[in-house]
Structure formats: structure tokens, C-alpha cells
Amino acid sequence: MVTLDSSAAWQTARRIVSANRDVLLAIAGVFFLMPQLVNALLPMPQVMPGMTPEQIGEAFTGFYTSRPLLFPVLLLLTLPGLVGHLTMLTVLLDRDRPTVGGAIRTGFQFLPSYLAVQFLIALALFVMLVLVTGVLSLLFIPPAIASAIAIVGAIYPLLRLVMVGPEMIVRKVPNPFRAIGFGLGRTRGHFTSLLLFFMPAVAIFVVIFGLVLIFVNPLLALVVHGESLRLISEAIAAVLTAIGQTYYAAIVASTYNQLGPVGGLGDAISPSNPS
């Protein structure tokens, strides 16, 4: 069985981002950065320090209930990110070496199928979380601990399905059920390797993201205040997220390639063929 070399996968991810930097940054700007900047302009619920989870839930419920059109808008703003992810995967993995326009068309073409996949995954995870939390509660385990255990358990299916997007793009599979099947097959026997690769990568991004905002926000507060401070902070967060999404797509693509070629696609990692 193919062994995932996380070090080689990370080095490959860095090389393909460097080799395709201009294209990937353009895609990230359009599909990740701009929607987040638009999202920053929308009103948000007011969450004050010291609020209990119940109070936070009531604040969110009351806020969106009083603005029925806002929640659908927020949902629509998530679609560009999905298209952007599929577009980046197309640029990095499609052996036909499409143009940027062609990659974007592919992203839109597979968006309905990818949305269906996300819905199926979310539905399965919801059912799993409810069942696991319910069973653990029957064992008199405190609800907070039961929920934590269920969330940790959700990591397994999420990592097993991380290759669904690449499978759709490389194999040209619009059927969400077939794509899920291919994705599960692709990651079979690699859960531990994927966990040891993806979890540190996500943790590093979260730490960098948090540290940048921790240091930048107090400096911004010296020169700007109120809504201007919030908008600038949101813009910085959007830039960091766009960069993180770019590297995430590169990591997914390089990992897919590490797990072995499909139909002679071993050289399909990048149109620039970095080595």
C-alpha cells in the first residue's frame, strides 16, 4: 500500500503554490477574499464578554429572526469559496492543463455536485453527533464531555472524505455518491497519516491567524476606532484566510498525488510541473 510522506507532501504543496503563485492568488482574491470583505460589511449579532452559551444562542436567534433575508445572503456568500476550492484543485490536478477561465468553469460545473456532497456529509455528521451524544448521555456522561467526544469522533469521517473534491475533478465524477465512494477508497488505510499531516497544518494556521490579530489589533486601536477598526481587522482576517485556503488546496492536491496516481495521473500535480 502507498505510504503518505507528509514531509514530501508539504514540500510539494509549497512548490506548487510558488510555481502557480499568480494564478492561485488571483483565484483566492476573487473567490475567498472578496466574499469575506462583503461579509464584513453585513451587520452581525452583538456578543458581549461574559455571555452564557444560552444568551449567545438567543442573541443569534433573535438577530437573524428579525432579519430574515440576511441568513440566505450569508449562505450565498459561502458558495464562492466552494467554487474557488474546486477551481484551485482543477488548476493543480487536471491533466488537461486548463486555462484559468476553463478551471473556473469547471469549478462552477461541479459546484452542485460538491454542494450535494457537503450536504450529505453534514447530514451524516449531524446524525452521528446526535446518536453518539444520546448514547453517552444514557451512560450518565456529562453533556459537555459527551459533546466533546462526539466532535472528536467527527474528525475520522471528515479526514476520510477530504479527497472527495480531488476525486470529482480528476475523475470527472459529477455523481456525489460515486465521488464519496472514490474519496473513501482513496483514503482507506491512511487515516493516521492524514491526521498527523492535516491536524498540525490546521493548528499552525490557527496559531498564526490568532497571533497576527492579537498583535495587529492593539496597534490598529492606536490610530483607528469603532467601525473602522472592525473593518480593517476583518480585512486582515480575510487576507489571512485567503492565504490559508490557498495552501489548504495545495496540501489537498499534493496529498492526493502522494496517495498514488489514478489512471496514469502521477504527473498531474501542477500545470507548471514544479519539481
List, as one string, the DSSP characters of 121-157.
Answer: HHHHHHHHHHHHHHHHHHTT--HHHHHHHHHHHHHHH
Taking the CA atoms of 247, 249, 255 and 260 in sequence, report the sign of the dihedral they define. negative
Mind listing the pLDDT tens digit for each residue in 184-221?
Answer: 999 988 898 999 899 999 999 999 999 998 888 888 88
Residue 1 is predicted with a pLDDT of 58
pLDDT digits (tens, 9 = 90+) for 255-275: 998 886 554 333 444 444 443
pLDDT on residue 67: 77
3-state helix, strand, coil in the chain (%, to 5): 75, 0, 25
Predicted local confidence at residue 86, as pLDDT: 96
Query: What is the distance between the alpha carbons of residues 29 and 185, in angstroms, rounded to a whole number?
Result: 33
State the pTM of this model. Answer: 0.84
Those residues with Cβ within 8 angstroms of residue 36's Cβ, 6 or more apart along the chain or in another chain: 77, 234, 237, 238, 241, 242
Q: How far apart are the first and last CA of the chain?
A: 24
- Domain residue spans of the chain: 6-258
Q: How confident is the model at residue 29 (pLDDT cuts 50, 70, 90)?
A: very high
Query: For 239-246, what is the mean pLDDT?
Result: 94
Q: What is the pLDDT of residues 104-137, one digit of tens each?
A: 999 999 999 999 999 999 998 888 888 877 787 7
pLDDT tens column, 147-176: 778 778 888 889 999 999 999 999 999 999
Residue-level pLDDT at 272: 41
The average confidence (pLDDT) of the chain is 85
251 pLDDT higher than 80: yes
Q: Give pLDDT, residue 262.
A: 53
Residue 17 has pLDDT above 80, yes or no: yes
Cα-Cα-Cα-Cα dihedral sign, residues 60, 62, 63, 66 = positive
Distances (CA, A) of 115 to 72, 118, 218: 15, 5, 39
